[in-house]
A and B are shown apart, each in its own frame.
Chain A
Amino acid sequence: MNDYVIEGGSVYAENVVFKPGFIRITDGKIAAVGPISQSPQHESIEVITVSDEALVLPGAIDIHIHGAAGADVIDASLDSLHKMAAYLPSEGTTTFLATTMTQQIEAIEKALSCIAAYEQTPGTAEIAGIHLEGPFISKKHPGAQPRDAILKPDVSLFKRWHLLSGEKIRLVTLAPEEQNGLELVSFLAQLHITASAGHTDSTFAQLNEAAKVGLTHITHLYNGMRGMHHREPGTAGGALLHNGLYTEMIVDGIHIHPHMVRLAFSQKTANRTILITDSMRAKGLPDGEYELGGQAVSVTNGKAVLRDGTLAGSTLSMQKAIQNMRKFTDCTMQDIIKMTAENPAKQANLYDRKGSITIGKDADIVIYDKEFRVQKTICRGMIAFQKETK
């Protein structure tokens, strides 16, 4: 199947929706998109027909995800990466940044070299790069990142890691207020790697300083940061008020109260919001006992916590994040596309080839029913997930 068309449904192309529409996919790329009447009518071209109620959207790009289906990036195993890539299309994700966590230097280096050696498998989600979360973070807001492995921001160590990863690092979560933090932010900006404030104790002023030298992103808003106070807006207040900062949110109803999601959305709008899952290995598996970077994690009703009750990542799926966002806010379809595809593509420096249904881009497409349940997922032109029909 290297030349076929998808016909029917509401096709959400860049700035235009075709009801019903078609997409032609040739050699893994989008070759044409338009109203259904313009679908090529050759007998030789295979047609996938979808229902008129279906929503045909660009695939989600999860730029903050540690694990799923029993696998975790920090396992430093090719098998784990393959497992994640194979599992994620089932929730609407077609591309992700393999996200590391704060660990001892050797463990991080192992994980980075493993991703460098990873080869993409057709018909699975693409690992488009790395999100390095920690270790250059604040000991004041470690969350579930092991405290004893936290390091001061270090440009030369980062350089070594970037080379080791095959220059695949696209996003770095760090605490800009730490010693040499601003130096690392401006170094990343020069390399067009996104610098993100997260697990940080930045004051309002410190966050704005960092934004001046190139910080453009906020890791899991509200979580792992200096909170908002009316006498010191903190990292959270600064994130909400700075128009230039893209803001990740874990919309599982656990990490952020639904009304605080609404607050952030009204302030940041869909133009600066990014939905992430921040999921760990228990996603897609039953409740029970798991492990996160050497720490015991217990999962009950999908809520993952360390022994001391600290939230330890999520078990959120991308489709659930979208369903929740629709419930918590009045966001539109176009907003969903911005928050799951366009914005993360821009922040991961991938927008030239992903993030919208546009001629020439990768054919990363998700077909949802009207309740936003994934029906079919296409990764670089190949069907990667198909909901079983009863």
Chain B
Amino acid sequence: MMEIIQVSNYEEMSKRAAEFLLKKIEKNPSLALGLATGSTPKGLYEQLILDRKEHGTSYEHVTTINLDEYICLPASNPNSYHSFMKENLFRHLNIPLSNSYLPNGEAADLQKECTRYESIIDEKGIDVQVLGIGQNGHIGFNEPGTSFNQTTHITTLAQSTRQANARFFQSIEEVPKQAITMGIASIMKSSEILLLASGAKKAEAVHQLLSGKISEDFPASVLHHHPHVTIIADDEALSIVT
């Protein structure tokens, strides 16, 4: 069943999401947390950092597993997801680096890297996976048309996705063309899913998700098959009347 929590704006969404995760961590200090990158979860991470400062929540036993990483972009590049996570979250919390996983986009054998990453997901067992939603319904880097049975794999980014991400780079040419991403089947293995959506730009995608139509042309629709999904969305993201 899908639970839709409506909040007024991005800040509220970030706060509610942080409360949601902190409650889980309180219950289970060795939580395996699936994380995402991008502007949507950034506010959530800020809230977690704030909480860490105020309440000293410990992440000593928490495991984090990220959704994706660009291919052929050095981890040290400020636009890599390794850098994003380090800058926006990891360096502010006490998560041991050995407990934080991201796909290695620089691996010599990328196919092997996919298999390795999937086995990490299986071994750790993600308790809660945080997701954003793309304007075309992508989750992780699973673009429309991706099979629901796909596990961690190499994907070619949709032009629209590259355009959306170009704002972080000097030019669109610099945006990598490929990425390693958890597949839809990998995401569905998670016990619980927390999807965040904010802003009018996401309204169309949220509207389509809520329509209940399930299709590989709209990857997020697979979530209707998941038993435990919570969506925290703001007024603007929920502005299209069903």
Contact = CB atoms under 8 A, between A and B. Distances in A.
A16 B238 contact: no
A37 B1 contact: no
Q: Determine the interface band of chain B, counting residues with CB < 8 A from chain A.
A: 10 to 19
A332 B5 CA distance: 18
Interface in A23-69: 32, 34-38
Contacts of B233: 35
B6 A17 contact: no
A19 B230 CA distance: 10
Nearest to B3: A17
Interface in B104-156: none
Query: Considering residues A21, A35, A334, which has the most beta carbons from chain B within 10 angstroms of its beta carbon?
Result: A35
A37 B4 contact: no
B2 A37 contact: no
Contact of B6 (A15, A16, A35, A334): A35
**In the complex, which range does the number of interface residues on chain A fall in?**
10 to 19
A381 interface: no
Contacts of A328: none
Contacts of B235: 37
Contacts, number: 44
Nearest to A12: B1
Contacts of B2: 15-17
A18 B4 contact: yes
B239 A16 contact: no
A16 to B, nearest CB: 5
Contacts of B1: 15-17, 332-334
A20 interface: yes
A19 B1 CA distance: 13
B28 to A, nearest CB: 17
A34 B233 CA distance: 13
Contact of A19 (B3, B210, B241): B3
B241 A16 contact: no
Nearest to B233: A35
B6 A18 contact: yes
Given A35-B238, A38-B238, A16 B5 contact: no
